[in-house]
Structure 1
Amino acid sequence: MRNEFDKDYWEDQWGTTPGRRRRLPVNPYLAAETAHLPVGTVLDAGCGTGTEALWLAEQGWDVTAADISANALAEARARAAAGSGEHIDWVETDLSRWEPARAWDLVVTSYAHAQIGQLPLYRRIASWVAPGGTLLIVGHLHGSHHDVHRGHDHPEGATATLEGITSLFGSPEWRIDSAYEHTRTVDRGGSPVQLRDVIVRTHRLT
């Protein structure tokens, strides 16, 4: 298995079991951490097959959903065609190199990985949050069974701690509103799997 999260890696990951991941539910932190926010524009950075992007569109958000994998986006578009996809702009791009010419009211990322590592990825996507906007990071902690479920081989720097993530937002430009770890159990094909998650929500002041 490759140990770098490049395009070939993700095309292989999303192409090996088409349709299986579409049954996964929206992560619970998305609703909990965005319920109070006014609906506006949102970027789902590393959207995969679109579970969170579709949920956001159903809530009325104007969604941009970006992912490096054409296989993942093909499945996401198929799902959107049968649901609330009219408010979603699907973008095939490498988040490590992308230079969008705009910012969003909300940027979310859920368990996404890039070749540059987790903290550099979070630093990049934070720059795409509009002043007054929000960044929501949902990641998984090293050693989580989420690693096994998704079939990921994690190289150095592919996971991040709560302390590491919050250290990115110590400047006066940012206010950290939520920062915690949480363990939850999900049903994967009839068997329970425990996930150890890290969640950070931060508000860009200027």
Structure 2
Amino acid sequence: MTDTTAHTNPQEFWESFYQERDQIWTGQPNPLLVREAAELAPGTALDLGCGEGGDAIWLAERGWQVTAVDISATALGRAAAHAENAGVRDRVEFAEHDLSTSFPEGEFDLVSAQFFHSPVEQHDERTRTLRRATAAVAPGGSLVIGSHAGWASFVEHAHVDVHFPTLEEILDGLELAPGQWRVETSDEVEREMIGPEGQVGVRTDTVLRVRRTV
């Protein structure tokens, strides 16, 4: 997702976002990650944009050794506290990164980028980060990208300047080397959701899972 009119510093934006309330997210893992990773053998995982830690904790509870990164120190502090409460703090390493300028070192059996959208960064920045994420996937490992395909049905048309990448755009942007990757999932998923004023609507998401074969 990109808003071409936004020029706010990303770190300032996300710090402000998380400081607005004591809890932003439900604490539950993203369902697209659960769908795609539940049957994978545990190993090492990288959670990009971990927020308050729902995905990282879910992975750790299933035996993964997780590196979880976010641009917001506030989000990371909450995530670490939640991991401690869940009894998996020793299985998750939290690190602060602005992924447009720095990236965790190493290779991972699973790299997850769930709803890795930002209203204060351009589309090409997201694409560059996801492309960099492919280099962090170990041989035989998987990259799982969950994305919004559009606004929820109850959202007004005031956001026409926001671009949601298609599955084809996401896949093309990864620039996967021919013969070295296999596309295992490329789906659109429609789900019902409740709006901030109790509106009932639907939203379409996309999920892409690719595996490095060599």
TM-score, structure 2 normalization: 0.82
Instruction: State the alpha-carbon separation in 2 of the partners of residues 161 and 170 from structure 1.
Output: 20
Instruction: State the alpha-carbon separation in 2 of the partners of residues 86 and 37 from structure 1.
Output: 21
Is the Cα contact below 8 Å between 2:49 and 2:68 reproduced in 1? yes
- What is aligned with 2:128? 120
Letter in 2 for 1:186: M
Instruction: State the alpha-carbon separation in 1 of the partners of residues 98 and 152 from structure 2.
Output: 25
- Single out whichever of 98-107 and 167-176 deviates more from structure 2: 167-176
Which protein, 1 or 2, shows the higher relative CO under an 8 Å CA cutoff with sep ≥ 6? 2
Instruction: State the alpha-carbon separation in 1 of the partners of residues 160 and 65 from structure 2.
Output: 32
Instruction: State the alpha-carbon separation in 1 of the partners of residues 9 and 28 from structure 2.
Output: 24
| C-alpha distance after superposition, 1:158-203 (max 9, x if no partner) | x311111122336222110000111112356783453311100000
Question: Are positions 1:67 and 2:70 aligned together?
Answer: yes
Is the Cα contact below 8 Å between 1:119 and 1:160 reproduced in 2? no
SS of 1:37's partner is coil
Letter in 1 for 2:40: L
Distance 1:88 1:79, change over 3 A: same
Within the candidate set 21, 32, 44, 1:29 is matched to: 32
Correspondences of 1:12-91 after superposition (within 5 Å) = 12-21=16-25, 23-83=26-86, 84-91=88-95
Question: Are positions 1:129 and 2:121 aligned together?
Answer: no
Letter in 1 for 2:128: P
Distance 1:185 1:46, change over 3 A: same
Distance 1:190 1:88, change over 3 A: farther
Instruction: State the alpha-carbon separation in 1 of the partners of residues 46 and 64 from structure 2.
Output: 10
- Single out whichever of 71-80 and 56-65 deviates more from structure 2: 71-80
Which sections of structure 1, spanning at least 5 residues, go unmatched?
none
Distance 1:133 1:155, change over 3 A: farther
Distance 1:134 1:14, change over 3 A: same
Correspondences of 1:185-200 after superposition (within 5 Å) = 185-187=192-194, 191=198, 192-200=200-208
Question: Are positions 1:160 and 2:165 aligned together?
Answer: yes
Correspondences of 1:81-120 after superposition (within 5 Å) = 81-83=84-86, 84-113=88-117, 115=121, 117=123, 118-120=126-128
| C-alpha distance after superposition, 1:87-115 (max 9, x if no partner) | 00001011112243311010001112353
Letter in 2 for 1:92: E
% identical aligned pairs = 33
Distance 1:45 1:165, change over 3 A: same
Across the aligned residues of Structure 1 and Structure 2, the Cα RMSD in angstroms comes to 2.7
SS of 2:41's partner is coil
Report deviation, 1:2. 4.7
- What is aligned with 2:179? 172
For the pair shown, which has the larger CA radius of gyration, 1 or 2?
Answer: 2
Is the Cα contact below 8 Å between 2:27 and 2:54 reproduced in 1? yes
How many residues get paired?
200
Instruction: State the alpha-carbon separation in 2 of the partners of residues 126 and 173 from structure 1.
Output: 11
Letter in 2 for 1:177: E
Instruction: State the alpha-carbon separation in 2 of the partners of residues 142 and 170 from structure 1.
Output: 29
